[in-house]
Structure 1
Amino acid sequence: MLIVAECVGRDREIDELLTRADTTTGPEFVVVRGETGIGKTAVLRRLTERHRERQGAQRTLWAQAAAWEQHTAGGILHQLLQSAGPTDPTVDAATLIDRLDDDDPSIIVIDDAEHADPESLQSLLSVTRTHRSRRVLVVAAMTAPGPPISGLITDEVRLDGLSTAAVADLAAKRGLVLHPGMVDALCRHTDGNPRDILALLDEVPTRVWSSSGQALPAPAHIVDHVRGRLQDCTPDARALIEALAVLDAIEPLDTAVGLAGLDDPLTAIDAAVDSGLVADPAGLGPAESQPRLASSLTRSAVLEVMGMRSVGDVHRRAAEIVTDPARRLHHRVAATPTSDPALADDLDGLARRRGADGAWAEAAGLFRQSGRLTAEPLLRDTRVTLAVDALLAAGDCIGAGALVPLVESLRETPLRNATLAYLAILRGRSAEAAVRLDRAWSIVNFDRDPDIAALIAQRFVLHNLVRCQGTELVEWADRAIAMAGSHSPAGVEAAVIRGLGLAWSGRPTEATAEYAALAERIRFGAQAQRATMGRGWLQLGLDDVGAARSNLETAVSMANLGGSTRITLWALGWLARTQFLTGDWEPALRTVEQGRALARASGIELASPLLNWTAAAVHSLRGDWDQAELVVQQAATTAGDYEIMRIPEMLARAQIAEAAADYGKVRRTLEPLVLMADEVPALAEPGWWPWVDVLANALVIDGQLDAADQLLRPYEERAAERGHRSASARLKYSRGRYLGAIGDIHQARRTFDEALELLDGLPLRYDLARVNFAYGQTLRRAGKRRAADAIIGTAREIYLSLGATTYVERCERELKAGGLNATRGDRDTVGLTPQEESVTALVARGLSNREVAAELFISPKTVQYHLTRIYAKLGIRSRSELAAARR
């Protein structure tokens, strides 16, 4: 079979070599080193292609050494020169160098350089030393480990295994779309070796790649190699190798020795290591010996060579030897090809225990194996459904989705409906989830299946969480806990969410106390991640920002300890939001990217709009409009209709519009939330979604003062009643704008000062900058230029520290328009005022009068007044002439 070389995931190495070639001032030598199949030749081919495009074929030379030509003096030089035959290597080397230009860089590539004839290399080295003006980069590829080329190599580029992204790209070039779990598995199985990856992509049936958890074989060329090595082994060495292939890596050497039946284990270990199929990294002496198979591919190849009968026999013997109950069960399963009711029951029991601990990925595999070994149809259907449900609990929507046709083909049961509803929730499909949950609840038998009823109730809890419904969430949580018990998986899941429902129902004190109790009761394991994330989410909503950040970071870190992908996604989403509000924007963007990658890998769409909201905010405030719009466009492709998806998507669009001073668009984007808030408690409670101040501010700037006043009043009362500091400060920010707009500058100043006092001590730097900016603009409009100058200067410094270039520029225009900091050199020779200068700059950029008015916080009539004066002073008659004059 022909394996076509592909070059993916090597851009960094190729760019590094090209840069080295472009910047070299004399002859230089670099070795590209990597194991067989790692893609050295593909890298060299791409390197020569790109250099040939830039510098031409005469300055891009290639040779490939071969073992049978190693003793042919001058063979490599002959290839490089494309001459009739090798002559004198020294003469050939000189001829080669003379052909190269002094001014432009050249690349000489030698593939498989460990087989190159020494005369060519020595002559090439000698001649380049006497032609130091030649800009030549010699790139020699060698297998690792390999002998050095004495006196030739000065630097090295090492090729390691491909990343998971590159593996997915390689699969795509074969027309294959891999389940993210299989991308990871393929990358680990092959150590990222492109040759082995391509072989498996071509040899393994396509259906294997669509779902996770599939065992991967070894490529045929590895199997053939291993078969030959096993045939050459002693009987004891082969028995040891086969035992190591069957046993888990964590098993002690004693188990392998017993399974192989060895009387002289040290001799067997030496022989196994000599075969190349076994590595012993700690084997400095008998006491430290830890023999393991050389690679995952070696293990798969050994199992294939052994054959099913032999593998089954070894697994059965292993089940009698190993001591851990779970691993003993694993060996029994591996040795059983047909149904086994007793074994299936044992697997079912272990799966439920693992699920109770929150280890849902492991539980999914156990339920699936249990279903395979179950003969009774209805029980088999239940276990298959539980496997899909456990996959969803583990956060593998893609893997679960691949099994949906199977689940949908089963007879209707409450469990089946609850599982399909769970998938709909994680995909963001509210209407579908509601229909399936209602059906499941209507047909469940509470007396016969109380556990299933509790599970359905817990799914209603999740459904109401992402609907942002407080009272309903608490009611369903109480039902789930009452039916399943507070220590059951369904009970714990309901309890760790119940506190958010309490907060959204106007009971934040109770919510805080409930999470404090949960933190004491659930301190370890995967369930602790749920409690920690929920507490961090609550704390962020209640202004305990430092504690929120600590708990959310802890919840993210717990993902590596068996945590849930779904919970990790929420933790990342709210952590990114926390980092944004506190001014840590680079960490926020890294957190967003981590969350996006996890969302893509899992297929969970619920948290993506939350992540995109933060990304859109940072990009728009930095003036990176293309990235901000791209984020919003990506959010628009998400098919979810849950409130927890729709709200941040609207807030992201409003954030971009506000940063662009398009307040009409802000108003149009957020006005639907006014009606939605009547039905969505979390939207109406202060501190959870900052939309009222943004909309009210847009209404004021848009001249709709009565509408702004009416919008603010009920939310101001509720924020004061709850004692919520940051929400009250944000609302006072908008109220101060309103008061300034109606001419009550004294009350406006008191309101802005109260907002700043409320923010004092809170690490909310972005909110602090916003309040100062609005305060300064309001004072400037009222003619308080000196006071406005100081406050806008403060806003500018905060925005500058955040990297919010959009508002830094706006602050600088405000300061210039105020006139106090303007010097004569700042003004045009025709005598434009600072305010006229600001209007001129904005109109020249193409802004309309209304947009300029919003940007400068003045009325459109004032803009037109300034324009009339500007035209007269500059001797022009139109906006286009003004723009041309300013180019």
Structure 2
Amino acid sequence: MQSAARPESPRTADATVYSRDAELAAVRGLLAAPEAGARALVLVGEAGIGKTTLWTAGVEAARAAGWTVLTARGAPEESGLSFAGLMDLMEQLPDSRFAALPQIQRAAVEAALLRAAPTASIGPLEVGAGTLAVLRGLCQERPVLVAVDDLQWLDEPTTDALWFAVRRLGTSALRILTAYRTAGVADDESYVRKYIAADDIPLENVERLTVGPLGSEPIRRLIRDRYQAVLPLGAADRIAEQTGGNPFWALEVGAALAAEPGVGRARAVAASELPIPASLSALVRRRLGSLEPEVHEVLLTVAMLDQPTIALARRVLAPSVAAPDAAIDRAVASGVVAALSGRLRVAHPLLGAAVADAAPPLARGALHRRLPEVVEDPELRARHVLRAWQGEPDADIAAYLEAGSASAAARGAVRSAAELAERAADCTPITDREDRCRRLRVAGELHLRAGDYQQARTCAEAVWRTGVEDRRRALPVLVEAMWWAEGRHQAEGFVAPLAANTELDAHTRAVVLALAADVGDGLGTPRAELARRSLELFDQVGAEADGAALATALLYSALADLEAGRGIAFEQMNRIGELQRELPYVVSSNRADNVMAAWYKDVDDLDRSRVALLAAIAANQDLGDEPMLVSLYGHLALTEVWAGRPAAARDALDRGIPLISAEAGKPVGMTAAESTLTLFADSIGTTRPRIDSLPAGGVMVASLIGLAALLDGDDEAVVEVLGAALAKARQAGVREPGRRGRFEGNLGQALVNLGRLEEARDISADLIELGTRNHRPTLLGIGHRIDGFAFGAEGDLDAAAQSLEAAVEAHRDSQFPVELGRSLLALGQIQRRRKDRPQAGEALRAALECFEAAGAVPFADLARAELGKGRRGTGGETLTPTEQQVADLVAAGHTNREVAARLFISIRTVETHLAAVYRKLGVRSRSELAARHR
């Protein structure tokens, strides 16, 4: 047989481009300067106007220039087939190109391309990330052209994967050439924005070019060269007018002309000989009517098959055509079917649409009913069964559709899988209630994974309204979809009456209480209590417990332990991980590994947090989960800030911030890390206004505002902001400092400065108890430091020194260098008050080293002030270190009382030092002192 050997179709082999100089210049411009970053050219126009000819010219030019060229052509019969376009694009890539991918991405891409069977749960993110990795690898070797013809028919899973990859390759040597068919060209801008001009390829880097009609002279030359029929200029004018300058229609006129009896070739044709009927579409029907029956059957079969290969077409044609191979050859030779690399395609979309429309409905249905017998892919089989469906419930058809849905889902095409699952439910006979509900539930889960929350809710609600035994399995989908679609309060409003319904069976009630722990029960019951009740009921259910809901209950139980100051419940978290590994889909923010990575820093284990976060980031990069990556980078940045590694924190922010979507916004942890770096980067007089201007952001922002106020000596503001935050946290049952902004040390110090020693000691006692019970040196150090401040304020310098030495000793075992520096600074101040100058200097120099290494400028300023030797007065006298501190604080506007509190000395001592300062510096008032300090 010859068909498989044909290199190209007539549609693509014609390299002549007629009168398209401007369009060809745009194509050449697309391929210029590949190092300049990603760009796209979208050719827009009606069917047959010549977009494909220009597209082919671009493809051939790129190949001639040595580019890597990936091509795909959308087709109406393939628009519902998952990853048909991606298979076209990557068909020629060797297996070695995928072998180098991370395992998750490799498995996802190979499953999507049908190169390997799915081995794990795969979603669109994994396929998108794998596609990105393949394209990025290709771009690193040479420029890449991704060329997609008939973009409007590209299947949605392929479009999603390409959109994911392309918008992340904005700086790569990537070009995109697409042709997009429109009935009219006024409404395609939204399509271009959605699928091509995404975040990393701004709209100005996407050129949209409308391909217009040809004039009469190019049409005359086109017909002459194709059919050797020479038209007079008037005849060409008539054809251009009647066809609207459309080359396809003009060629159909030429084909009809060549077939006219008595009309020879290579001679002029009079206008009276032109076969132009009133309706141009009649030309196509006439063309189809002229085909021999077996060629017509080949054309119909190819038009109705998804991704038809020669081998598949042969099997489909065998019952109705005596010699399928010969018929395929004649169809290719006649120009109505194209053969390329063993696959068949209708030569032009208009021919395919015409032959399909012309076929009687019963004939089309009979063909679709035959196809499941020869098609092996379950999703393909389902598509053909669906097209043959007459609308009546049919258990067999529903089973085909369910199998197709499962196949699409396994390959990561969750949108396609959701559609098929929902149609399977529609096809299910009303008597098969269990089957229908199962299929609807699966459809809801798939819609949720695809981000179609409204449709997920619709499917899950339909299941919940039934009386089937396992309808509870739809509840997690229903509540999750309701949360995302309408907000937490709406979800809580749905869950609240169910949580109050004690007549529900134990299993359903366990699920409901687990969901209430997530969204609330309408009564304000603490999450810990709701999770506890849920777990008690799940214990009664035993091995049949719903895994997703049980994992949710365990998660909120573990969170309650953490917030209560009992640390991480490792046994529960490990159990959650085991349950989640058996689930088809888990919301990324609830995955045990992601949660644990974030929680380590909350319990002061910064080293472990860093390792776990980097591992989670690597895993989510493989998954392509950018929202989760933003969150993880925020946690990593905050970990590095607390660890005194500002460069590493900035690097984490630089990696995470570009991934933030406009809808989601910046996460709190990222804002806190970025703001802390801002606060530490300059003197407090410069940075405090920036911190005070932060938008309200809960406890983390309150903690930063309180710290800025403390560094600026505004103790009243510290107590006002952080006192309210502490009261709110206590009311919510949050005792863990890592979950409430780590503000206890700042609040305790401000309370001491204001003379509220009992309140400060309450905070220190709580920290010391938590630190002792949980072996947390950071908490112990902060608690002892607050006690040291309190003893100093009372004048008991020996007790103050003892407490601060204990704070320093604890902080040497801590992973928070700034906290060590603060305890050393406080110890140095007390030692100076005790006249122990050598030890004071040693402690202050060590504190300065801590602050400088951590990039904490305001704290370093405080340490330098303590170490400063002062300024010389007009008489050559030098201020003592304490006089220098008094002078600095008074010049900054502080009262004598505030200076005494900050330096742990009496007001009388402040007055004595201030008098010496006036004398030595030759000033007579506070205003003169402030002017001298400017």
Residue number among 692, 717, 720 corresponding to 1:665 in the alignment: 717
Query: Are the structure 2 counterparts of residues 749 and 838 from structure 1 closer, same or farther at C-alpha, using a change threshold of 3 Å?
Result: closer
Q: Secondary structure, in 3 states, of the residue corresponding to 2:644?
A: coil
**Aligned twin of 2:615:** 554
**1:659–1:515 CA distance, 2 compared to 1 (3 A):** same
Is 1:400 equivalent to 2:458 in the alignment?
A: no
Tell me, which stretches of 5 or more residues in structure 2 are unaligned? Answer: 1-31, 43-60, 67-141, 147-159, 199-206, 215-245, 256-290, 319-323, 358-363
User: 1:608: which partner in 2?
Assistant: 667
CA contact (8 A) 1:608 1:635 kept: no
**2:825·2:847 contact (CA, 8 Å) conserved in 1?**
yes
Q: Secondary structure at the match of 1:716?
A: helix
Matched, 1:756 2:813: no
C-alpha distance in 1, partners of 2:914/2:387?
Answer: 83
Q: 1:462 aligns with which of 518, 521, 540?
A: 518
Name the counterpart of 1:574.
635
Deviation at 1:697, TM superposition (A): 1.9
Deviation at residue 460 of structure 1 after TM alignment: 2.1
Cα distance per residue 1:661-701 (max 9 Å; x no partner)? 43322211111234334433333577775232231122123
2:504 is aligned with 1:446: yes
Cα distance, 1:587–1:689 mapped onto 2, change above 3 Å: same
Distance 1:470 1:815, change over 3 A: farther
**Amino acid aligned to 1:491:** L
Q: CA deviation at 1:461?
A: 3.0
**Residue 571 (structure 2) pairs with residue 513 (structure 1):** yes
Q: 1:669-688 residue pairs with structure 2 within 5 A? A: 669-684=721-736
SS at match of 2:661: helix
Q: Which runs of 5+ in 1 are unaligned?
A: 1-28, 40-142, 149-157, 163-179, 281-288, 294-298, 639-645
| AA of the residue aligned to 1:727 | L
Return closer, same or farther for 1:790/1:403 CA change in 2, 3 Å cut-off.
same
Other-structure match for 1:203: 187
TM-superposition CA deviations, 1:783-825 (whole Å, max 9, x none): 4333222222222212222222222222222211xx4xx6x78
- SS of the equivalent of 1:203 reads coil
Q: What residue is the counterpart of 1:790 in the other structure?
A: 842
Q: CA RMSD in A?
A: 6.7
Q: Which of the residues 495, 512, 517 maps onto 1:437?
A: 495
Shift of residue 37, structure 1, vs aligned partner:
5.5
Question: Partners of 2:679 and 2:305 in 1: how far apart?
Answer: 55
**Does structure 1 retain, via aligned residues, the 8 Å contact 2:511–2:534?**
no
Task: Determine the structure 2 residue equivalent to 1:473.
Answer: 531
C-alpha change, 1:198 and 1:244, in structure 2 (3 Å) is closer
Q: Does 1:712 align with 2:764?
A: yes
How far residue 772 of structure 1 moved from its aligned partner, in angstroms, is 2.5
> May I ask how many residue pairs the two structures share in their alignment?
689
How many Å separate the matches in 1 of 2:428 and 2:692?
48
Taking structure 1 as reference, are residues 453 and 517 closer, same or farther at Cα in structure 2, changes over 3 Å only?
closer
Q: Are 1:739 and 2:723 counterparts?
A: no
Whether 1:695 aligns to 2:747 is yes
Deviations 1:71-128 (A, max 9, x none): xxxxxxxxxxxxxxxxxxxxxxxxxxxxxxxxxxxxxxxxxxxxxxxxxxxxxxxxxx
Q: Distance in 2 between matches of 1:345 and 1:652?
A: 59
> Taking structure 1 as reference, are residues 717 and 579 closer, same or farther at Cα in structure 2, changes over 3 Å only?
same
Q: Residue type matched to 1:681 in 2?
A: G
Q: Which amino acid aligns with 2:783?
A: L
SS in 2 for 1:600: coil
Tell me which amino acid in the other structure corresponds to 1:619.
Answer: T
2:560 aligned residue (501, 515, 532): 501
Q: Which residue of 1 aligns with 2:6?
A: none
Q: 1-side partners of 2:546 and 2:475: how far apart? A: 24
* Residue among 832, 844, 851 paired with 1:780: 832
Displacement of 1:736 in angstroms is: 2.3
After superposition, where does 1:51-450 map in structure 2 within 5 Å? 184=164, 187=167, 203-204=187-188, 221=210, 246-247=306-307, 306-307=352-353, 323-325=376-378, 328-329=381-382, 396=451, 400=453, 422=480, 433-442=491-500, 446-447=504-505
Tell me the distance in 2 between the aligned counterparts of 1:627 and 1:738.
28
User: How has the CA–CA distance of structure 1 residues 329 and 594 changed in structure 2, closer, same or farther, with 3 Å as cutoff?
Assistant: farther
- Which residue type is aligned with residue 582 of structure 1? A
2:101 match? none
Question: Is the CA contact (8 Å cut-off) linking 1:322 and 1:328 kept in structure 2?
Answer: yes
Tell me, yes or no, if the aligned pair for 2:558 and 2:573 is still in contact at 8 Å. Answer: yes
CA–CA distance in structure 2, aligned partners of residues 503 and 462 of structure 1: 16
CA positional deviation for 1:745: 2.8
Secondary structure at the aligned position of 2:735 is classed as helix
The one-letter amino acid paired with 1:476 is: S
Instruction: Report the 3-state secondary structure (helix = DSSP H, G, I; strand = E; otherwise coil) of the residue aligned with 1:746.
Output: helix
In structure 2, how many angstroms separate the alpha carbons of the residues matched to 1:183 and 1:189?
10
Is the CA contact (8 Å cut-off) linking 1:540 and 1:548 kept in structure 2?
yes
Give the 5 Å matches for 1:851-870.
Answer: 869-870=916-917
- 800 and 373 in structure 1: CA distance in 2 versus 1, 3 angstrom threshold: farther
CA change 1:207–1:731 in 2 (3 A) is farther
The answer to whether the 8 A contact 2:444-2:455 is kept is no
Residues 777 and 810 in structure 2, CA contact (< 8 A), matched pair in contact too: yes
1:652 aligns to what SS in structure 2?
Answer: helix
Q: Higher RCO, 1 or 2 (CA under 8 Å, sep at least 6)?
A: 2
Displacement of 1:438 after TM fit? 0.6
Could you tell me whether the CA contact under 8 Å between 1:685 and 1:718 is conserved in 2? no
Amino acid at match of 1:446: L
* Aligned residue number for residue 618 of structure 1: 677
Contact 1:470/1:681, CA 8 A, preserved across alignment? no
Partner of 1:94: none
Q: Which amino acid aligns with 1:621?
A: F
Taking structure 2 as the reference length, the TM-score comes to: 0.56
Q: Return the alpha-carbon distance in structure 2 between the equivalents of residues 531 and 791 of structure 1.
A: 42
Q: Percent identity?
A: 21
Tell me which structure has the larger Cα radius of gyration.
Answer: 2
Q: Summarize the Cα distance change of 1:432–1:193 in structure 2 as closer, same or farther, 3 Å threshold.
A: same
Deviations 1:121-169 (A, max 9, x none): xxxxxxxxxxxxxxxxxxxxxx979999xxxxxxxxx99999xxxxxxx
**Residues 1:815 and 2:867 are matched in the alignment:** yes
Closer, same or farther: CA 36–470 of 1 in aligned 2, 3 Å: closer
Please identify, of 757-766 and 561-570, the stretch whose mean Cα deviation from structure 2 is larger: 561-570
Q: Match of 2:515, as an amino acid?
A: R
Q: TM-score, normalised by structure 1?
A: 0.58
Q: Distance in 2 between matches of 1:793 and 1:678?
A: 38
Aligned to 1:588: 649
Going from structure 1 to structure 2, the CA distance change for 1:469 and 1:590 (only over 3 Å counts) comes to: farther
Q: d(CA) in 1 for partners of 2:536 and 2:410?
A: 19
Structure 2 counterpart of 1:794, one-letter code: A
Q: Kindly provide the CA deviation profile for residues 332-358 of structure 1, in whole angstroms up to 9, marking residues without a partner as x.
A: 668879787756677678879999999
